[in-house]
Structure 1
Amino acid sequence: MLHLRLIVPAGRSDEAVAVLEECTGVTNIVVLPGAAREPAGDVVLCDAAREAANVVISRLKWLEDVGSIAIEQVDLSLSRAATAAVEEAPGDPDDAVVWEELAHKVSSESRITWAYLAFLAIATQLAGIGVLQNSPILIVGAMVLGPEFGAIAAICFGLLGRRGRLITTALRTLVIGFTVAIAVTFACALVSNWLGWIDIGNLKVNAEVQFIVKPDKWSFIVALLAGAAGVLSVTAGKSSALIGVFISVTTVPAAGYLAVALGLGDWAEVAGSVSQLAVNVLGMIISGTATLAVQRKFWPQVGQRSSV
């Protein structure tokens, strides 16, 4: 369930409470007259089934301008009324997409931050070392560490809702992030080559990781499956499933391979790395957007009246 805390202008509390009482899947309604100070007003609390959240939020959207709506996940609720509310709401909680929550999440993950750049740069360097050392274990570690899926999910959401600004922001984050990560790894490869630690021969004896520079139809199919699984894990709040998505796609390994191939002047491997990176990103965007579209179409109770 979700817990909602509303701050409502004193003169409109009855209106807000009436909406809550009318909506399916809402229970544990509490009104605290005059409890709010900034903004001033009444505090209204309630619990809502995840499947019912979109309708509640859409009908109380006016509070965004004159009050506030705060929502948090309820990890445990021991209440017959709450159980009845969940059973009354249409659909299943794991299928429900709270579109406002998703919009907020992808918006925050579409922005460039120092943490995002650091994680992606470190992941790409690990991938580069894995390529040079012919180490699939390091490649897998780099895959798990990479933070790029948040920006890809934001692009999918932007395409679904035709949000040009979100798409532009997420694309910029993706491009700048990989550019910085590749540049850092490229510089490290140049220094390592100058010190005599590595040479182009390292790229000729790495059979275990050659799949990175040899994209084929299976690369695209895996990217499609990973994009769908990734979006489902985000919308259902199943973050553990994202680990499998990270390990499935070859975005970070391709970036790492690209950087070391550039540093060592192996142009054939550069082309293969760029192709692999493009295939994976494109596949995830296509399937991620399609998955969101299917969720909105075939679970109408999930997306109805939402602002998407």
Structure 2
Amino acid sequence: MRLLQVLVPTSKRARVEDVLEDVGAEYLVVDEVRRTEAVVFYVPVPTGAVERMRERLRDAGLGDDTYVVVTDAQSVSGVDTADLEALVEGPKGERGVSHTELRERAENLWPDGATYVALSFLAALVAVSGLLIDSAIVIVGAMVIAPFAGSTLSASAGAVIGDYDMVVRSTRAQLIGLSVGLLGALTAAFTIQQLGFVPEQLQISQAEQVGFFLTPSLLALAIAICAGAAGALALATDLPAAITGVAVAAAIIPAVATSAIGVVWNQPLMAAGSIVLLLMNIVFLNITAYVALVALGYRSSVISSALSGSTISARTGAYALLVGVFLVVAGITVGASAQHIAFEHGAVTATSDTLEDDLYGGLELHDVAVSYDDAGLFGDPETVTVTLGRTTDEDYAQLAQSLRDSIDAQTGNDVTVRIQFVDYQSASAETDVREHVRVHAA
């Protein structure tokens, strides 16, 4: 609930009262003791109705220079504001903020231009360092300083409130941020390689942290969807929206760093896979945030506004082109990501089914990694690498062929299967007890 305190000249008092009564508002009028020619109206309104009420007051002759104070009314009793619900922009009731507040909260997440560019560069630099030294905590640090929450969520906020300029600014900021981040990641990766901190011959794609961001996966998709939904929820409520910044950055900055590492280490498959992952995350972040805001009750969308518009101008044409480009990129990305995710799921299922055989009871499945050829986003899977732990010296000579046949039957793709064994030696307390008994018996 909000309380409007409006200073009204006595000459306009009757017109203001007519407007308030027309919309069913309940109000108080108090004399302004310092100005005998003015009174103060106290008008409680629902949270999302402030701007619409201001529009009504402008129609009554109160310009933008009118003295108006809007405060947060924690509790109001004896006042019925049910008739004012029709004026609410955004969610009905107390579930979300007004369009104006939503716009301000989104814009407040943006640092200024120079700071935004600097943080994008530094976040990518830190992320590359974290990936190359295989440190999850350093990667989290890169997510903390990444400034992408505001630029990403603002596009969805602008879409649901019909603020086309906000959508354009957000899109431009995302492109700039990603470009600067990629430049920073390339700089860091190239410098680290040239200084010899990481050998050039190292199979960089086998690093544990790097392996998480090589290709789209169902878990990566879930992270992007949850981050978009959480960001929209925080943006539209009284929760601090900045807390979702790490979740948003988790879907963006590691993939940017991985693609740069792939370029510097001359690994085109690695770079291409991480770029597809990055595009997938960005698309689903924006779509999920938009859908979440619509689900919260924000109905004035870009689509409905465009459909209701009766005139076509260069500006609306530019917006339509922007939406069209996004839809094309989204369609291509979703198609490629779906193909990658479906194959990965099939490969994991086939591998698990094969290892359930009693012949492989001594093996532990550690990882299933998929790499693709360089035919583009829709290229066929090329190699499946299965990492297994074993405690015996058995070579399992037919296992690779069995896995290949199983994956081929499950997915319909003809792939090469590689097996990487991690050997273990074990000593248990039971073994120590038996040796101790044997010695005493002797």
Per the shorter chain, which TM-score range? 0.7 to 0.9
**Native 8 Å contact 1:31 1:42 kept in 2:** yes
**CA-CA distance at 1:183 after TM superposition:** 0.9
**CA-CA distance at 1:253 after TM superposition:** 1.3
**Native 8 Å contact 1:112 1:173 kept in 2:** no
What is the correspondence of 1:55-70 to structure 2 with a 5 Å cutoff? 55-60=52-57, 63=62, 65-67=64-66, 69=68
Q: Which residue of 1 aligns with 2:173?
A: 173
How many angstroms apart in 2 are the aligned matches of 1:110 and 1:64? Answer: 30
> Compared with structure 1, are the counterparts of its residues 136 and 69 closer, same or farther at alpha carbon in structure 2 (3 Å cutoff)?
farther
**CA-CA distance at 1:155 after TM superposition:** 1.3
Q: Which residue of 1 aligns with 2:253?
A: 252
**One-letter code of the match for 1:143?**
M
**Which one of the candidate residues 50, 53, 68 is aligned to 2:50?**
53
What is the correspondence of 1:109-148 to structure 2 with a 5 Å cutoff? 113-148=113-148
Q: Which residue of 1 aligns with 2:387?
A: none
Higher mean alpha-carbon deviation, 132-141 vs 289-298, is at 289-298
**One-letter code of the match for 2:272?**
A
Question: Can you list the C-alpha shifts for 1:230-258, whole angstroms capped at 9, x where unaligned?
Answer: 11110112126843862684211111222
Q: Which residue of 1 aligns with 2:237?
A: 236
**CA-CA distance at 1:98 after TM superposition:** 0.5
**One-letter code of the match for 2:189?**
A
Q: Which residue of 2 aligns with 1:268?
A: 269
> Compared with structure 1, are the counterparts of its residues 140 and 72 closer, same or farther at alpha carbon in structure 2 (3 Å cutoff)?
farther
Instruction: Report the TM-score when normalising by structure 1.
Output: 0.74
Look up the SS of the partner of 2:297 in the other structure: helix
How many angstroms apart in 2 are the aligned matches of 1:139 and 1:56? Answer: 47
How many angstroms apart in 1 are the aligned matches of 2:150 and 2:114? Answer: 15
**Native 8 Å contact 2:3 2:72 kept in 1:** yes
How many angstroms apart in 1 are the aligned matches of 2:115 and 2:235? Answer: 20
**CA-CA distance at 1:71 after TM superposition:** 4.2
> Compared with structure 1, are the counterparts of its residues 137 and 109 closer, same or farther at alpha carbon in structure 2 (3 Å cutoff)?
closer
Instruction: Report the TM-score when normalising by structure 2.
Output: 0.54
Look up the SS of the partner of 1:160 in the other structure: helix
> Compared with structure 1, are the counterparts of its residues 202 and 221 closer, same or farther at alpha carbon in structure 2 (3 Å cutoff)?
same
How many angstroms apart in 1 are the aligned matches of 2:78 and 2:224? Answer: 40
**CA-CA distance at 1:127 after TM superposition:** 1.5
Q: Which residue of 2 aligns with 1:184?
A: 184
Higher mean alpha-carbon deviation, 176-185 vs 218-227, is at 218-227
How many angstroms apart in 2 are the aligned matches of 1:242 and 1:23? Answer: 38
**Native 8 Å contact 2:124 2:182 kept in 1:** yes
**One-letter code of the match for 1:261?**
G
Q: Percent identity between the aligned chains? A: 23
How many angstroms apart in 2 are the aligned matches of 1:221 and 1:183? Answer: 27
> Compared with structure 1, are the counterparts of its residues 51 and 193 closer, same or farther at alpha carbon in structure 2 (3 Å cutoff)?
same
Q: How many residues end up aligned between the 2 structures? A: 288
Tell whether 2:292 aligns with 1:295. no
**Based on CA coordinates, which of the two structures has the bigger radius of gyration?**
2
**One-letter code of the match for 1:142?**
A
> Compared with structure 1, are the counterparts of its residues 51 and 102 closer, same or farther at alpha carbon in structure 2 (3 Å cutoff)?
closer
> Compared with structure 1, are the counterparts of its residues 133 and 161 closer, same or farther at alpha carbon in structure 2 (3 Å cutoff)?
same
* Structure 2 unmatched ranges of 5 or more: 86-91, 301-442
Q: Which residue of 1 aligns with 2:422?
A: none
**Native 8 Å contact 2:224 2:282 kept in 1:** yes
Over the residues paired in the alignment, what is the CA RMSD in angstroms?
3.8
Q: Which residue of 2 aligns with 1:303?
A: none
Higher mean alpha-carbon deviation, 220-229 vs 277-286, is at 220-229
Tell whether 2:223 aligns with 1:222. yes
**Native 8 Å contact 1:2 1:47 kept in 2:** yes
Higher mean alpha-carbon deviation, 185-194 vs 270-279, is at 185-194
Q: Which residue of 2 aligns with 1:154?
A: 154
Question: Can you list the C-alpha shifts for 1:233-292, whole angstroms capped at 9, x where unaligned?
Answer: 101121268438626842111112223333333322211221111111100111111222
Q: Which residue of 2 aligns with 1:96?
A: 96
> Compared with structure 1, are the counterparts of its residues 25 and 211 closer, same or farther at alpha carbon in structure 2 (3 Å cutoff)?
farther
Q: Which residue of 2 aligns with 1:305?
A: none
**Native 8 Å contact 1:28 1:47 kept in 2:** no
**CA-CA distance at 1:293 after TM superposition:** 2.2
How many angstroms apart in 1 are the aligned matches of 2:264 and 2:69? Answer: 49
**One-letter code of the match for 1:259?**
A
**CA-CA distance at 1:213 after TM superposition:** 1.9
How many angstroms apart in 2 are the aligned matches of 1:135 and 1:64? Answer: 58
Higher mean alpha-carbon deviation, 270-279 vs 114-123, is at 114-123
**One-letter code of the match for 1:113?**
G
How many angstroms apart in 1 are the aligned matches of 2:121 and 2:71? Answer: 32
> Compared with structure 1, are the counterparts of its residues 55 and 162 closer, same or farther at alpha carbon in structure 2 (3 Å cutoff)?
closer
**CA-CA distance at 1:298 after TM superposition:** 8.2
Higher relative contact order (CA 8 A, sep 6+): 1
**CA-CA distance at 1:115 after TM superposition:** 2.0
